Amino acid sequence: MIPRVYRIEHRREEYPGTFTLEMSADRGRPVTCDPGQFNMLYAFGAGEVPISISGAGRRDGLLVHTIRTQGLVTAALERLKEGEQLGVRGPFGQGWPLDLARDSDLLIIAGGVGLAPLRPVVYSLLDGRGRARRTQLYYGARRPEERLFRHELNQWGRAVSLVQSVDHADSDWPGHIGVITGPLQASRINGPETIAFVCGPELMMRFSIRVLLESGVPASAIFLSMERNMKCATGLCGHCQWGPRFICKDGPVFCYKDIQPWFQIRGL
């Protein structure tokens, strides 16, 4: 429950209002994180907020988080500069089940900032820690300039099948225009032999899951990362209770089969 002090080594703006911090521990060994886990980031004098890990977790000893500014704490984190400090608690939660993707087709479906928790999955596949028979990455954003990790997407496209879609673009945009479920629905999905990792706005995840189920992907092979108001990150405070489960302790990555009844309740 006590934050460790980390120092910001690198700061990069992805696009206005969204930025990535690479941090190192001031003392002690750096933590190791599994793809899909999260940390509580503490801005001194402002409070703390749960943020998914968006780096490899083991590379260079750096802890990486991609943050969208949407409140007092994230605004305080956005004002931090390289060399300044913040507190970190974690890692917490259950991550992506990469072991289940072995000898299967892996579908990675991300919307907006939802690519951040899935970035460590891509890293795991590229460096050999994860394995899948075939990997397809579908990424949707509002505009071309509002895509995360644009400097890496072209590199990823050489290793995995990459499909990008944006809601709005001019004539220079070579990719798909419209919601990401459009190209997903048009693709050939080998349903019984596919496992899917999904993260993004809940509306986007609902429609993506519908396409996957219609394509024959079992509910037990669909995994999604949920967001709720997490405070303690250990399941004690009850802020993130979701049906009989806690997002912080039992998630944030869930199997769709296990949470299907709760996921279908509007506003829950």
DSSP output for 150-194: HHHHHHHHHHSEEEEEESS--TT--SEES-THHHHHHS---GGGE
Q: What is the pLDDT along the chain (268 residues), one digit of tens a residue?
A: 889 999 999 999 999 999 999 999 988 777 788 999 999 999 999 999 999 999 976 556 799 999 999 999 999 999 999 999 999 999 999 999 999 998 899 999 999 999 999 999 999 988 877 788 899 999 999 999 999 999 899 899 888 999 999 999 998 999 899 999 999 999 989 999 999 999 999 999 999 999 999 999 999 999 999 987 788 999 999 999 988 899 999 999 999 999 999 888 876 6
pTM value surpassing 0.85: yes
| Pick from 64, 54, 67, 50: nearest CA to 15 | 67
- CATH placement of domain 98-225: 3.40.50.80
Q: DSSP letters along 77-129, please?
A: HHT--TT-EEEEEEEESB---GGGGTTSEEEEEEEGGGHHHHHHHHHHHHTTS
- Cis preceding-peptide flag for 144 (omega within 30 of 0): no
Q: Cα–Cα distance between 3 and 40 in angstroms, integer? A: 8
- Domain spans of the chain, in order of start: 4-92, 98-225
* Residues 6 or more apart whose Cβ sits within 8 Å of residue 67: 18, 19, 20, 21, 41, 51, 74, 77, 78
Instruction: Tell me which of 3.30.420.130, 3.40.50.300, 3.30.70.2740, 2.40.30.10 is the CATH number of domain 4-92.
Output: 2.40.30.10
3-state SS, residue 39: strand
